[in-house]
Amino acid sequence: MRGMTRVLGRTRLKAMVSETKRRSILRTLGLVAAPAGGGAQAQDPYARAREALLKDIEAMARDTGAETGRATFSARVMAAIAKVPRHRFVPASYGALAYANQPLPIGHGQTISQPYIVALMTELLDAKPGDAVLEIGTGSGYQAAVLAELVQQVYSIEIIEPVGKNAAALLQQLGYKNISTRIGDGYNGWPERAPFDAIIVTAAAAQIPPALVAQLKPGARMVIPVGAEGEVQFLHVMVKRADGSISTQRSLPVRFVPLTRSN
């Protein structure tokens, strides 16, 4: 259920977050060699591509900061993007583009989302280490893996059975023990595991599903693309107040596949 996502009509700036900060994150994760000269590049053929991806995400964050309110992303989010092996979540035929900052097909009419959008939505969640997060739309499993690096538990629902099963098998192979998956209708959420500290939706809904709002804890937030099929979609950040009311802030225009329902 992962949708194609891209920012519409944006000019990327060459500016980026401190080079020292970026390379420090990469060295911590073993993705680039230390100055004394290590073998990280030889051990990880994707190291250079990952470094370039982080640079591109940082530039796009600066470019869109006025609209998103996040001109830079946290070190935790950037470290998670750097760590998760995106090449494992794309078909082998697209391996050369695994760390390109673009969506890629994963079969069944679905895509793995653009890394910048994954980073942005993760950043907007403001998730904490002890949080339980619900994801609607497992897709390839990439977004779930990024979240799993940041929170205590991820619950992820996918409506397309073969897509969900493939993602579950891959996440298990990669050793993610804090991700639970299921096949089902994302509109209904996962009431048995509610309430959640945050909810992220990776397909566009014509309106925010009431069941998901009900399953948020007071003070929790949801990041969701909203827009009917064929219309311009916008990323929304919704916060549930202590009295149960909600506040919603509209962010970037995006493009996702529609959030579908079971018959």
* Residue that has been written with the tokens 């959420």 in this structure: 189
Q: How far apart are CA 157 and CA 137, in angstroms?
A: 6
Exposed, middle or buried: residue 44 (CB in 10 Å: 0-12, 13-18, 19+)?
middle
Q: How far apart are CA 134 and CA 247, in angstroms?
A: 19
Who contacts 149 (Cβ-Cβ below 8 Å, separation ≥6)? Answer: 79, 80, 83, 84
User: Distance (Å, rounded) from C-alpha 42 to C-alpha 36?
Assistant: 15
The yes-or-no answer on residue 113 being catalytic is yes
Backbone φ, ψ for residue 47 (5° rounding)? -60, -45
Q: Which of 18, 93, 113, 245 is catalytic?
A: 113
Angle at 184 between CA 121 and CA 86, to 5 degrees: 40
Question: Any residues with CB less than 8 A from the CB of 199 and at least 6 apart, and which?
Answer: 133, 134, 135, 136, 189, 212, 215, 216, 220, 221, 222, 223, 224
Q: What is the spatial distance between Cα 42 and Cα 15, in angstroms, rounded to a whole number?
A: 29
Q: Which amino acid is residue 37, in one-letter code?
A: G
The CA-atom distances, in angstroms, between 138 and each of 130, 134, 155, 218 are 21, 10, 9, 25
Would you please indicate which residues are annotated as catalytic (active-site) residues?
A: 113
